[in-house]
Structure 1
């Protein structure tokens, strides 16, 4: 119980201390999502110009929660580790995921009646957790790079007495980075079953009401 309380306190502290970074990455994701949708619309329409959209097209509900979690978590861990290289992969992941999801929206909008609206409704239940996890993973990756950068700077500084002191000066950033990665994993654990078993029926239910 004490461990859970300490983890909760560290999570709140990590989110508060780096909220500007997290909000900034969220804004970048939203811009890329909207941009991906708008810029892909003409391309998708041109590609499907000679094709009659099928009214029977459906969002895929034949997905497994465990496979979804493993796929998303593996991508997050890879991005986290790769962010050691100047944090570039962390930013690229946000841009790619935002643009890719936006492009998918444009595709569904062309293939299905009210497909764009259906797609957004489908994204909402699990996206609240999954997209937030993606943003936090990127933030964690950036913090990992900042820890390495701060550690190296401290280690070569004349004001620091050895590697141990250099680590002590920067370990808080590393702790926040690891805590945010753990928190993102929890969010992905929540998102996976929602996406696998709830999001499609939910979007169908809402669309039937409209």
Structure 2
């Protein structure tokens, strides 16, 4: 089979995985908000602890350092989702993606703001880029895991070396640029939008 045909198979499978990951992420966001709204007293400490862990990795002393910290933190998260895909059968990237969705979904309860306003003004401006990269990273991790599993059980699958080349190319030329833009928007633009809308 030619390299081009294998790439097309990758793209076809990836489209399905990306759709699955997108739907799963949205469900986890909305589900987390509904759950948090109805049981906030029970889960407030756990959500606050997760958010504290995220904030500990960020440098918020200056906007410049904050933007760089955001980029590094998000790059680390996306890279982790891709790399954990090499662990067969567990599909760990899915769990990391859902965890991100839970944190975002619970954010309005944590900040005491309206869900729609938080999503539109606090998440959407940079989230268009950041969440696209995160979902893409999770999808790549799932694709890697699925390919390894299929090889282990002896099913026909895409050429692994070509798959990795395809993912590496998308990582460098799609994911990293998306995260750079997301970090700039989140550090410099989202705070201005929030100050003029929600707060």
TM-score by length of 1: 0.68
Distance change (3 Å), C-alpha of 1:180 and 1:101: same
Q: CA deviation at 1:72?
A: 1.1
Q: CA deviation at 1:180?
A: 3.3
- Choose which of 15, 22, 26 in structure 2 pairs with 1:26: 22
- Choose which of 167, 184, 201 in structure 1 pairs with 2:175: 184
2:187 equivalent in structure 1: 196
1:116 equivalent in structure 2: 115
Deviations 1:148-170 (A, max 9, x none): 3455566xx9xxxxxxxx99944
Deviations 1:104-146 (A, max 9, x none): 12222xx34xx43442111011001111111100111122223
- Choose which of 24, 35, 39 in structure 1 pairs with 2:31: 35
Between structure 1 and structure 2, the one with the greater Rg is 1
Cα contact 2:91–2:145 (8 A) shared by 1: no
1:80 equivalent in structure 2: 82
Cα contact 1:87–1:141 (8 A) shared by 2: no
TM-score by length of 2: 0.72
Q: How does 1:58-137 map to 2 (within 5 A)?
A: 62=60, 64-85=66-87, 86=89, 88-108=91-111, 111-112=112-113, 115-120=114-119, 121-137=121-137
RMSD of the alignment, in Å?
3.2
* Residue segments in structure 1 that go unaligned for 5+ positions in a row: 1-10, 49-61, 158-165
Distance change (3 Å), C-alpha of 1:175 and 1:147: farther
Distance change (3 Å), C-alpha of 1:133 and 1:168: closer
* Residue segments in structure 2 that go unaligned for 5+ positions in a row: 1-6, 45-59
